[in-house]
């Protein structure tokens, strides 16, 4: 059994549907708010965003290790991609207020401690750890110390890495953990 913001999630409960906003706002706060409203109108229980700034993800460099090769973003610097895709910190308060007004839970995948601090200031009801971050044990510990429910994506991790992440979260007091795969 698992609980987010007073809603029990279990085998005996109706599905808890989480809509993903991520960078689907295309850099528009208004589109982000419309997406929250649409998620609620279409039956989602929650909407998940991502919380990071380009400066906390990488450095602004055009050296080969910081350039994307192939695919849709071929030739982009990692910094520019993260900067374009981010949900700016300054939007978060409005997004949380919008979600509250329409009655949908909102939480996020934080990518560093400053993101967790921001989300805590907004009383986020839960945290989602992204697949890439499952090996970021200091981040997992920091999130676990909040005592909030923790949803962890495991798709890119080995069983050993998953075990390490779970152990770190539990040592820091997390006991409301869901693994996603």
Is the model's pLDDT at 1 over the cut of 90? no
Residues in the chain: 181
Look at residue 94 in the predicted model and tell me its pLDDT.
Answer: 98
Residue 181 binned pLDDT confidence (cut-offs 50, 70, 90): confident
Quick one: angle between helices 137-144 and 159-171, nearest 10? 40
CA proximity to 87, closest of 70, 61, 110: 110
Residues 139-144 have a mean pLDDT of: 98
**Mean of all residue pLDDT scores within the chain:** 95
pLDDT at residue 50, as a whole number = 96
Predicted confidence at residue 61, as pLDDT, reads: 96
| pLDDT score, position 22 | 87
Contact 137, 163 (CB under 8 A): no
Query: Would you say residue 54 has pLDDT above 90?
Result: yes
Residue 24: its pLDDT value, please? 87
Mean pLDDT computed over 76-99: 95
């Amino acid at each position: 059994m698992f609980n987010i913001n007073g809603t029990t999630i279990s085998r005996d409960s109706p599905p808890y549907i989480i809509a993903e906003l991520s960078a689907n706002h295309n850099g528009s706060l208004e589109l982000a708010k419309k997406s929250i409203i649409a998620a609620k109108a279409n039956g989602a229980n929650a909407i998940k965003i991502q919380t990071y700034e380009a400066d906390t993800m990488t450095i602004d460099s055009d050296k080969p290790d910081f350039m994307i090769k192939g695919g849709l973003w071929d030739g982009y610097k990692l910094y520019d991609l993260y900067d374009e895709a981010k949900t700016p910190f300054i939007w978060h308060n409005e997004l949380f207020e919008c979600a509250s007004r329409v009655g949908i839970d909102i939480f996020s995948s934080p990518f560093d401690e400053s993101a967790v601090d921001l989300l805590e200031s907004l009383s986020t009801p839960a945290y989602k750890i992204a697949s890439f971050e499952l090996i970021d044990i200091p981040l997992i510990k920091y999130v676990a110390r909040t005592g909030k429910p923790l949803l962890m994506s495991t798709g890119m991790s080995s069983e050993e890495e998953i075990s390490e992440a779970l152990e770190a979260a539990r040592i820091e007091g997390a006991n409301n953990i869901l693994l996603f795969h």
